[in-house]
Amino acid sequence: MADNQVDKDPSKHHLHSDVAPPKVARGLEGIVAAATQIAEVDGERGKLTLRGYDISELSGCVSFEEVCYLLWHGKLPNRAELDDLRQHMSASRELPAPVMAALHELAPHAGGMHMVRIGASMLSIDDPDVDNLAPESCRKRAIRLQSQMASIVAHSYRLKTGRPIVQPKPEHGLAQGFLYMLDGQEPDEARTQGLNSYFVAVCEHGLNASTFTGRVVISTNSDMVSALTAAVCSLKGPRHGGVPGPVLKMLNEIGSPEKTEAYIRKEISEGRRIMGFGHRIYKVRDPRGALLSDAAEKMAELTGDRQLLDLAKSVEETTVRVLAEVKPGRDLYANVELFAALILHAVDVPSELFTPCFAIGRTAGWIAHMIEQLEETKIIRPESVYIGPRDLKFTPIDERD
């Protein structure tokens, strides 16, 4: 082995010959790093539970604001509690003047998740109590951060596309207000319901990469804005939150149900991934996909347009069948991204904003995990095993190759 090469087998690199090398869990797979009361993800049965409620129990029955309250407080709100939450969310949407000035300056030069990252990092401005980690302070801040994330996404996009800012109406809920800020027109019921269903579906999903990142940051007793920004940075990676856009591109390329099988077989034969299928946890159909599929059916009933929905269903049926044939035993089924792309497109959200919209919905779960992590007393600090060279000798700079 050359001097500058490293053998990545940890069993050949340990400090003492009489000490067994530690087993390395690549990607922390199989490692339990937190005990949580927030969500349970059951990959074998295809169940997602939020604070004890199967998500199918909540689908179509609750607003996104109700789910936020559930995640942050551990129970569904009563009428007075929900009205109070909505009132405070509405009053918290406006961004501080320095943040707006920065968005005006920066939005023409950046977009998508880059602007979400920049915007999230500025949400500590005008918060003199930002380092207060007391539970009630965190829950109060949660309302503001959730509301302002939607404002950042909508305002940045309008500025980037050369249009003036539109402020939502006081009576607008989060989904309705976001759509109003985005295009400046009162959204119809179908669009509002569709986006509300999307936010509910993606609000929380256990200890995924971005949620874990947020918990790591807050475990240092940093502040919620820093943890939120770190979570956004993790979500930006296409291996985590960047799939719905390519799903829509795939559906457009297929075009019609009768062309599905030929397209899928060609993609598989050429070694390309089928977007919207397969999940690290789920061995059956993603329950969030079922939720969004039902939401898409309701939208189609209201709008009368089901062309893309029928195509997506054909793609799901055909792809599952073909994957079972060519990759037997892999348990590859539709995941949340297939119908997330469909819903976001149906409510007229630009594809550039698919992942930013995911960030708006997932902020609710990130915040819940931050609040829960602050109850812990230990910083998250896993160990590593060194697999690099040993016993190298220093060489003066003029004697090095």
Q: Give catalytic residues, as residue numbers.
A: 279, 337
Chain center to CA of 80: 30
Query: What CA–CA distance (Å, rounded) separates 276 from 279?
Result: 9
Q: Which residue has the tokens 């349970």?
A: 40
Query: What CA–CA distance (Å, rounded) separates 116 from 233?
Result: 9
- Cα-Cα-Cα-Cα torsion 232, 234, 237, 239, nearest 10 degrees, comes to -130
The number of beta carbons lying within 10 Å of the beta carbon of residue 342 is: 29
Q: The tokens of 51 are what?
A: 């604070």
Query: What CA–CA distance (Å, rounded) separates 259 from 229?
Result: 42
Query: What CA–CA distance (Å, rounded) separates 211 from 226?
Result: 13
Q: The tokens of 96 are what?
A: 């501080």
Phi, psi values for residue 53, rounded to 5°: -95, 125
User: For the residues of 191-228, what is the DSSP string, one character each?
Assistant: HHHHHHHHHHHHS--SS-HHHHHHHHHHTTT--HHHHH
Query: What CA–CA distance (Å, rounded) separates 67 from 358?
Result: 15
Chain center to CA of 361: 7
Q: Which residue has the tokens 């999903």?
A: 205
What is the widest separation between alpha-carbon atoms in the chain?
77
- Specify whether the CB–CB gap between 363 and 146 falls below 8 A: yes
Report the DSSP pairing between strands 39-42 and 47-50.
antiparallel
Of the candidates 65, 365, 34, which has an alpha carbon nearest to the alpha carbon of residue 228? 365
Angle in degrees, CA 36, 276, 174, rounded to 5: 60
- Grouping H, G, I as helix, E, B as strand and the rest as coil, residue 42 is strand
Q: Which residue has the tokens 């199967």?
A: 54
